[in-house]
Amino acid sequence: MTKHLYDRIQVLEREDELDRQQRLKAMARPLLSWYEGHARALPWRDDPTPYRVWISEIMLQQTRVEAVKPYFERFMAALPTVQALAAVEDDRLMKLWEGLGYYTRARNLKKAALMITERHGGELPGSYEALLALPGIGSYTAGAIASIAFGLPVPAVDGNVLRVISRVLADREDIRQPSVKARMERELREIMPRERTSQYNQGLIEVGAIVCVPGGEPRCGECPMESICLTRRQGLWKEIPVRGALKKRKVEELTVCLIRRGEEVAIHKRPDTGLLASLYELPNVTGHLEPDQVPGAFGLSADLVEAVEPLPAAKHIFSHVEWHMAGYAVSLREGGEMNREGAFFFVERSAVKGEYPLPGAFKAYTKLI
């Protein structure tokens, strides 16, 4: 199909001919035709079963598509069913998730799998309301699973869709406001084509991901909605969408130590609640320490410490917190132990890489193990 059908069905209109609902309705035909010819080949699209769609959508939250691909393939090979996910040990689950970040997503996956097993016979429920009741599933994810896996006429409004719709309508309301998202969900539910809901939702998301892109100039000449987009017509892409200011992140200073004893390295398990709950980490304390402060701060006998060598500073950004880290490599003599019981324990370096899930927040140091 030369230049694809959508090039021949662009909507022609006078400046003020279409009202808000009509403009939204006019998106469907060119969008669906464009998606047919431009959809990326992604592993979860090959076989869009409810389970595969669910896992992919959770992984894609706040994470780039290219980063998710290998994780998705590995996860599906290890845990191919709801039942396997419900039965997996926590440490194994977190190891599969290691590096993806936002680890609450993985914990909620297992909670939801247990609930699906107990209440829904091991199969994801085929209704929007039942999906929304599962841990870790909000309106967007419920809409994506309902429409893509079950063909239900429910919108899936994420950041990409908010940006696209705001620009098509030249809407200046703050897309970070829940009321704005809720209104767009209602409007799309009213006008979306009932027979092709999967393609419609994925088409909007795809346009936002590769055409009406975040953080840069949109590729309007490639967009199926170019002829009806008011932002394009009025040259407002730098102003729309409108995003309210985010709350400033809290900065926390840490000192992180890579403590080696022969072929072993020290790790610590974080508490069961709070940030990075139940994951393993390199020993760390609050504040930036000088080298001579390190042994005492980490409960190490000075006569057992062979060397304390500075490592490069590192920073990790969470959604609401920034960690600014100073690092040290600490070498212990064989048989060296800590003074404080329970602060950390030693494991073989190979075990750290193969068995214990360490979050990406410590990547600058764990890569040195």
Residues 293 and 332 in one domain: yes
The answer, yes or no, to whether residue 137 has pLDDT greater than 50, is yes
* Shared domain check, 263 and 183: no
pLDDT at 14 over 70: no
* 175 and 42 within one domain: yes
For residue 339, pLDDT beyond 80: no
User: What CA–CA distance (Å, rounded) separates 146 from 159?
Assistant: 18
239 falls within a domain: no
For 194-246, the pLDDT digits (tens) are: 999 999 999 999 999 999 999 889 999 999 999 999 999 999 999 999 998 88
Q: Based on the fold, state whether residues 205 and 273 are members of the same structural domain.
A: no
Residue-level pLDDT at 337: 56
Domain assignment of residue 350, yes or no: yes
- 161 shares its domain with 206: yes
In this predicted structure, what is the pLDDT of residue 18? 85
Structure token pair of residue 278: 């139940």
Mean pLDDT of the region 138-164: 96
Selected residue with higher pLDDT from 131 and 102: 131
Identify the band that residue 72 occupies on the pLDDT scale cut at 50, 70 and 90. Answer: very high
Residue 49: inside a domain: yes
Q: Is the pLDDT of residue 16 over 80?
A: no
The pairs formed by 334-341 with CB atoms below 8 angstroms and a separation of 24 or more are 334/261, 334/262, 335/304, 336/261, 336/300, 336/301, 336/304, 336/305, 337/301, 337/304, 338/266, 338/298, 338/299, 338/300, 339/299, 339/300, 339/301, 340/298, 340/299
pLDDT of residue 334: 78
Mean pLDDT of the chain: 91
Please say if the pLDDT value at position 43 is more than 60: yes
Which member of 57, 98, 206, 281 is catalytic?
Answer: 57
Of 210, 234, 258, which residue is a domain's last? 234
Domain final residue, candidates 194, 209, 234? 234
How much is the pLDDT for 1? Answer: 39
Q: End of a domain among 234, 265, 297?
A: 234
CATH classification at residue 268:
3.90.79.10
pLDDT of residue 8: 40
Is 131 a domain residue?
yes
The answer to whether 206 is a known catalytic residue is no
- Quick count: other Cβ atoms within 10 Å of Cβ 319? 10
Residue 287 and residue 202 share a domain: no
For residues 200 and 278, the model is more confident at 200
- One domain, residues 209 and 344: no
188 pLDDT more than 90: yes
Residue 341: φ, ψ to 5°: -65, 135
Pairing label, strands 250-261, 280-281: unpaired
Domain total for the chain? Answer: 2
Same domain, 216 and 266: no
CATH of the domain at 23: 1.10.340.30
Name the range with the highest mean pLDDT among 90-104, 116-130, 232-246. 116-130
Lowest mean pLDDT: which of 16-20, 230-234, 246-250?
Answer: 16-20
In the prediction, which pLDDT does 9 show? 46
pTM, whole model, 2 decimals?
A: 0.83
Across the range 33-52, mean pLDDT stands at: 94
- Host domain of residue 319: 250-366
Q: Is residue 243 part of a domain?
A: no
